[in-house]
């Protein structure tokens, strides 16, 4: 079986380089936060071009923390995309605010700036775009929009660590960038982990306090925060992997370009190799997506579907009152998107088998 993703290959290749620092942390007795986390935060801030970074428990908590640090709560609205992982919108609900969805752009599959502008009303306090599948949003346009509406810009960069827009890293454009280090991400921990990045000192201090129950330097709790801390072991894992990020992103791109070249001229709608993107996923589109998936499975090739039900139609958001047909572009993407195997340790032969199977499907269906 050709796996969709296989972290064991990466961990086996890293071997001692990974297990050495982890053992050291275990033997040191450091468990939560500590010097290893501080060192990681320095490296994350550098990579994201921000003044501050804070390691947190996971990408979902990063979003909750970011929204809370921006003072967003009951009565507020946050404009976001319906075509993303649940967390982007559930974090908004968790702080008591209302997610307001706008449709996506049919080419990039990212939140459409004009559509976002149209629903960014009086109650809106933030815009929360997602750099989906590693492709940066038009951050210039979103920054302008946020400024013109006097709202915060929070970047969900869970899938786009290492990406940049117009030469500047994602995460450095908004007020806060929210990162996931879930094991399947371009750089993944050995469990749950995440981070928030920001440059404004006041926002950064707020994030830092909220991460540990709103505790100030004087020991008093002026805000009700939470336990959003990251473990020292996860920091050690991430620090062991960070030096490989560039090479891994290059290999992901090499595989993606091979997919693009191999599938050119077929009925598959292919993603673009845009400047500054990272290839966290390789997602193509086909009107018979489920048949394609079944065909690949019959050839022992695993794939994944993102996101078969867009967020405005998820039962947990039923009380928001959206209906099928409200966001036709997102709904079509939900029916058509298929993600192919893509990770740095994918073998060239495996990738070529995927291409061959897709070409067979294309020949048979045309």
Ligand X SMILES: Cc1ncc(COP(=O)(O)O)c(C=O)c1O
Query: What's the half-sphere exposure (Cβ side, CA atoms, 13 Å) at 194?
Result: 25
Q: Which residues of 175-192 are buried (b: 16+ CB within 10 A; e: fewer)?
A: bbbbbbbbbebbbbbbeb
User: Does 194 contact ligand X by CB under 6 A?
Assistant: yes
CB neighbours of residue 217 within 10 Å: 7
Region 261-290 residues binding ligand X, contact defined as CB under 6 A: none
Q: How far is the CB of 242 from ligand X (least distance, A)?
A: 17
Report the residue number, 136 or 194, with the smaller CB distance to ligand X.
194
CB of 336 closer than 8 Å to CB of 286 = yes
Residue 31, helix vs strand vs coil: coil
Q: Which residues of 348-362 are buried (b: 16+ CB within 10 A; e: fewer)?
A: eebbebbbebbeebb
Q: How far is the CB of 58 from ligand X (least distance, A)?
A: 4
Segment interacting with ligand X, rule: CB under 6 A, options 53-61, 69-77, 211-219, 314-322 = 53-61
Pick from 10, 110, 164, 180 the residue near ligand X by CB under 6 A: 180
Q: How far is the CB of 80 from ligand X (least distance, A)?
A: 10
Report the residue number, 5 or 182, with the smaller CB distance to ligand X.
182
Q: How far is the CB of 87 from ligand X (least distance, A)?
A: 4
Pick from 30, 58, 208, 234 the residue near ligand X by CB under 6 A: 58
Tokens linked to 46? 């550098």
Report the residue number, 50 or 57, with the smaller CB distance to ligand X.
57
Q: How far is the CB of 265 from ligand X (least distance, A)?
A: 31
DSSP string for residues in 93-109 = HHTT-EEEE-PBPTTT-
- DSSP symbol at 299: T
Pick from 10, 30, 50, 60 the residue near ligand X by CB under 6 A: 60
Pick from 182, 248, 259, 317 the residue near ligand X by CB under 6 A: 182
Q: What is the CA angle 233-237-242, rounded to 5? A: 140
Report the residue number, 180 or 208, with the smaller CB distance to ligand X.
180
Region 311-350 residues binding ligand X, contact defined as CB under 6 A: none
CB of 166 closer than 8 Å to CB of 276 = yes
Report the residue number, 176 or 263, with the smaller CB distance to ligand X.
176
Tokens linked to 89? 């919108």
Region 74-133 residues binding ligand X, contact defined as CB under 6 A: 84-85, 87-88, 130
Q: How far is the CB of 6 from ligand X (least distance, A)?
A: 18
Cα separation values, 151 from 70, 129, 243, Å: 10, 13, 36
Nearest Cα residue to 41 out of 183, 170, 208, 271: 208
Report the residue number, 50 or 87, with the smaller CB distance to ligand X.
87
Size of the site for ligand X (CB under 6 A): 15
Q: How far is the CB of 177 from ligand X (least distance, A)?
A: 12
Q: How far is the CB of 132 from ligand X (least distance, A)?
A: 7
Longest dimension (CA), the chain: 70
The residue number with the shortest CB distance to ligand X is 59
Phi then psi for residue 105, to 5 deg, are -80, 135
Interaction site with ligand X (CB under 6 A): 58-60, 84-85, 87-88, 130, 156, 158-159, 180, 182, 192, 194
């Amino acid at each position: 079986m050709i796996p969709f993703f296989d972290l064991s290959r990466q961990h086996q290749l890293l071997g001692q380089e990974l297990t050495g620092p982890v053992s050291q942390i275990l033997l040191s007795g450091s468990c939560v936060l500590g010097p290893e986390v501080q060192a990681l935060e320095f490296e994350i801030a550098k990579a994201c071009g921000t003044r501050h970074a804070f390691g947190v428990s996971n990408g979902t908590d990063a979003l909750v923390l970011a929204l809370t640090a921006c003072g967003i709560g009951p009565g507020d609205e946050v404009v976001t995309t319906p075509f993303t992982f649940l967390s982007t919108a559930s974090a908004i609900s968790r702080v008591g605010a209302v997610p307001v969805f706008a449709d996506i752009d049919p080419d990039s599959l990212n939140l459409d700036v004009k559509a976002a502008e149209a629903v960014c009303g009086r109650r809106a306090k933030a815009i929360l775009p997602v750099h989906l599948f590693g492709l940066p949003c038009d951050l210039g346009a979103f920054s302008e929009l946020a400024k013109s509406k006097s709202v915060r810009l929070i970047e969900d960069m869970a899938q786009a660590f290492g990406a940049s827009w117009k030469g500047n890293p994602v995460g450095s454009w908004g007020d806060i960038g929210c990162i996931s280090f879930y094991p399947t991400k371009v750089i993944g921990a050995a469990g749950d982990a995440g981070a928030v990045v920001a440059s404004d000192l006041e926002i950064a201090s707020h994030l830092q306090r909220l991460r540990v129950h709103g505790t100030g330097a004087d020991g008093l709790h002026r805000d009700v925060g939470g336990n959003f801390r990251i473990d020292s072991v996860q920091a050690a894992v991430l620090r062991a992997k960070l030096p490989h990020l560039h090479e891994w992103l290059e290999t992901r791109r090499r595989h993606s370009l091979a997919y693009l070249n191999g599938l050119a001229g077929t009925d598959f709608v292919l993603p673009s190799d845009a400047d500054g993107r990272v290839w966290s996923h390789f997602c193509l589109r086909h009107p018979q997506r489920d048949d394609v998936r079944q065909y690949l499975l019959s050839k022992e090739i695993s794939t994944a579907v993102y996101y078969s039900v867009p967020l405005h139609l998820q039962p947990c958001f039923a009380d928001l009152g959206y209906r099928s047909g409200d966001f036709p572009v997102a709904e079509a993407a939900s029916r058509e998107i298929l993600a192919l195997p893509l990770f740095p340790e994918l073998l060239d032969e495996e990738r070529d088998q995927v291409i061959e199977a897709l070409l067979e499907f294309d020949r048979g269906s045309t």
